[in-house]
């Protein structure tokens, strides 16, 4: 499909590609790609956000079959280091092996089924806390207390079942389905898109999660388009080209790029460069703007230039190879179903999951992946926010927390609105919300509905 397809109309005014033409630095090819896709205009059924039956289908046919982000490699740097990855009512151990590879085990004892591990940690063997069956870190049966009573157990057949593992850019993924397609083919061209952004050589500077009272897809979809900015985050419209966003759909991944340092086309009033800068820097009305915008310069140029200077101390002269777009724009990728790494130096990665086995509660996580000098700093500990703790209480997220709180403000109300509505489906914009639609098309395929 092309941009001239009947279902695709873009915002009047400057397009994202035209904005890139004004960049002070060469724009990388990856930002010049355009892949709009018209996936129809039909309403999307709402039972997917509401019913237990749908959740059970997702457990079996989505989470049981799909490649999913479990942890960063740096969470398990040494042999014997492991994390426990949970999705709905299932649990998996993801462990570094002595040869440096990573294995993932079904987290259940082969004796009477107890979880083998409940917390992240490090071990020299995997020993069950119930009766003491033990396996080596490689998953071979090592010990059965009072083994004389288990003559019927054949050690070679009593290895810990493992699941598929894939790694990319420092992220560790697992897939419980032994017949799943390879991780490389699932990723498709995604690694090429991220080549210059090198997320592997980053460290987890912040890791904050929050419990939410809504289905995980409602939470995720609040972060899958910029169309909501005008009503939900009006304070950032002065510097965010919300409806200038470019939406691209490939196969297993998609992206929305929303330009910064340029005002929303939806604003009715004139915005000058100082206004844009004030909004961008979150400067209060009664405070002086701490930077000057020289005559003939735009806030976008000045904002990118100061970001370049900030990063120079950490990444060196490489900063000069990067375009203004890479400093200022929200380059928000999504790998189906729930993994959202941002491109360039925005540093953000999101993940959304059901909270435990509850289809009406979810957990959203935000990681900051930052470049570093010298040795890789230890990854940040998880900072978990309960239902009543605002994102803005996580100071490590800086001003982002305030924006997230505005998103959360909608989520519970969407859940209850969908419970209440007499309309059987939600209606989506053809272009601006095409990433949301793409997700549901993919989900329907996985679920076979």
Strands 102-106 and 162-168: antiparallel
CB of 134 to ligand FES, least distance (A): 9
109 is a contact residue toward ligand FES (CB under 6 A): yes
Q: Which residue has the tokens 């500990």?
A: 381
CB of 144 to ligand FES, least distance (A): 8
128 is a contact residue toward ligand FES (CB under 6 A): yes
155 is a contact residue toward ligand FES (CB under 6 A): no
CB of 332 to Fe ion, least distance (A): 11
Nearer to ligand FES, 76 or 108 (CB): 108
CB of 178 to ligand FES, least distance (A): 23
Q: Which stretch binds ligand FES (CB under 6 A): 124-132, 290-298, 340-348, 428-436?
A: 124-132
Among Fe ion, ligand FES, none, what binds residue 112 when CB lies within 5 to 8 Å by partner kind? ligand FES
What phi, psi does 339 have (nearest 5°)?
A: -115, 125
Q: Which residue has the tokens 């380059």?
A: 331
Element (H, E) at 219: helix 216-221
Contact between 106 and 161 (Cβ < 8 Å) = yes
Contact between 80 and 94 (Cβ < 8 Å) = no
CA angle 92, 447, 49 (to 5 degrees): 85
What is the CA 271 to chain-centroid distance, rounded? 32
Q: Which stretch binds Fe ion (CB under 5 A): 36-44, 45-53, 146-154, 403-411?
A: 403-411
The first and second tokens of residue 117, run together, are: 């591990």
Contacts of 173 (CB under 8 A, 6+ apart): 67, 68, 69, 70, 165, 166, 167, 183
Q: Which stretch binds ligand FES (CB under 6 A): 3-11, 104-112, 228-236, 379-387?
A: 104-112
Pick from 73, 357, 405, 407 the residue near Fe ion by CB under 5 A.
407
132 is a contact residue toward ligand FES (CB under 6 A): yes
Dihedral (Cα; 133, 136, 140, 144), 10-degree rounding: -20
Nearer to ligand FES, 128 or 385 (CB): 128
Among Fe ion, ligand FES, none, what binds residue 407 when CB lies within 5 to 8 Å by partner kind? Fe ion
Tell me the chain's radius of gyration from C-alpha atoms: 24
Please count the residues of this chain forming the interface with Fe ion, following the rule CB under 5 A: 1
133 is a contact residue toward ligand FES (CB under 6 A): yes
CB of 116 to ligand FES, least distance (A): 7
Q: Helix or strand or coil: residue 226?
A: coil
CB of 152 to ligand FES, least distance (A): 15
Among ligand FES, Fe ion, none, what binds residue 363 when CB lies within 5 to 8 Å by partner kind? none
Contact between 210 and 406 (Cβ < 8 Å) = no
Nearer to ligand FES, 110 or 349 (CB): 110
Residues facing 164 on adjacent strands:
175
Residues facing 84 on adjacent strands:
93
Task: Judge residue 183's burial from the number of C-beta atoms within 10 Å of its C-beta, 0-12 exposed, 13-18 middle, 19 or more buried.
Answer: middle
What phi, psi does 81 have (nearest 5°)?
A: -70, 140
Nearer to ligand FES, 160 or 165 (CB): 160
Nearer to ligand FES, 108 or 277 (CB): 108
Pick from 9, 18, 53, 130 the residue near ligand FES by CB under 6 A.
130
Nearer to ligand FES, 65 or 114 (CB): 114
CA angle 446, 447, 449 (to 5 degrees): 120
Nearer to Fe ion, 213 or 220 (CB): 220
114 is a contact residue toward ligand FES (CB under 6 A): yes
Q: Which stretch binds ligand FES (CB under 6 A): 66-74, 91-99, 129-137, 321-329?
A: 129-137
Contact between 212 and 387 (Cβ < 8 Å) = yes
Binding footprint of ligand FES on the chain (CB under 6 A):
109, 111-114, 128, 130-133
């Amino acid at each position: 499909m092309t941009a001239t397809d009947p279902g695709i109309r873009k915002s009047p005014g400057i397009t994202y590609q035209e904005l890139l033409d004004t960049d002070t630095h060469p724009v990388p090819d990856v930002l010049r790609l355009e892949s709009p896709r018209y996936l129809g205009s039909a309403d999307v059924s709402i039972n997917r956000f509401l019913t237990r039956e749908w959740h059970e289908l997702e457990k079996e046919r989505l989470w049981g079959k799909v490649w999913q982000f479990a942890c960063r490699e740096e969470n398990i740097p040494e042999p014997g280091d492991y994390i426990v990855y949970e999705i709905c009512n299932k649990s998996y151990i993801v462990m570094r092996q002595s040869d440096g590879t990573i294995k993932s085990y079904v987290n259940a004892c082969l004796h009477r089924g107890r979880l083998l591990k409940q917390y992240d940690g490090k071990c020299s063997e995997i020993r069950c806390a119930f009766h003491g069956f033990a396996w080596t870190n490689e998953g071979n049966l090592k010990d059965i207390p009072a083994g004389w009573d288990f003559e019927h157990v054949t050690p070679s057949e009593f290895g810990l079942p493992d699941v598929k593992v894939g790694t990319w850019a420092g992220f560790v993924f697992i897939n419980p389905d032994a017949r799943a397609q390879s991780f490389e083919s699932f990723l498709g061209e995604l690694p090429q898109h991220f080549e210059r952004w090198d997320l592997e050589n980053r460290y987890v500077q912040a890791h904050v999660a929050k419990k939410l009272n809504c289905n995980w897809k409602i939470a995720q979809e609040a972060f899958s388009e910029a169309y909501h900015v005008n009503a939900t985050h009006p304070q950032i419209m002065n510097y965010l080209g919300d409806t200038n966003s470019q939406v691209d759909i490939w196969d297993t991944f998609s992206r929305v790029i929303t330009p910064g340092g340029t005002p929303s086309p939806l604003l009715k009033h004139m915005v000058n460069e100082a206004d844009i800068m004030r909004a961008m820097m979150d400067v209060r009305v009664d405070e002086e703007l701490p930077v000057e915008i020289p005559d003939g310069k735009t806030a976008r140029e000045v904002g990118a230039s100061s970001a370049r200077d900030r990063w120079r101390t950490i990444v060196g002269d490489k900063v000069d190879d990067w375009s203004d777009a890479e400093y200022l724009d929200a380059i928000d990728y999504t790998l189906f179903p729930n993994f959202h790494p941002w491109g360039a130096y925005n540093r953000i990665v999101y993940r959304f999951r059901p909270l435990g086995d509850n289809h009406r509660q979810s957990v959203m996580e935000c990681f900051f992946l930052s470049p570093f000098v010298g040795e890789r700093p230890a990854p940040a500990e998880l900072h978990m926010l309960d239902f009543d703790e605002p994102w803005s209480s996580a100071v490590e997220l800086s001003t982002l927390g305030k924006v997230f709180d505005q998103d959360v403000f909608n989520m519970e109300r969407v859940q209850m609105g969908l419970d209440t509505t007499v309309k059987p489906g939600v209606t989506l914009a053809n272009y601006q919300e095409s990433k949301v639609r793409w997700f549901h098309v993919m989900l329907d395929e996985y679920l076979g509905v």
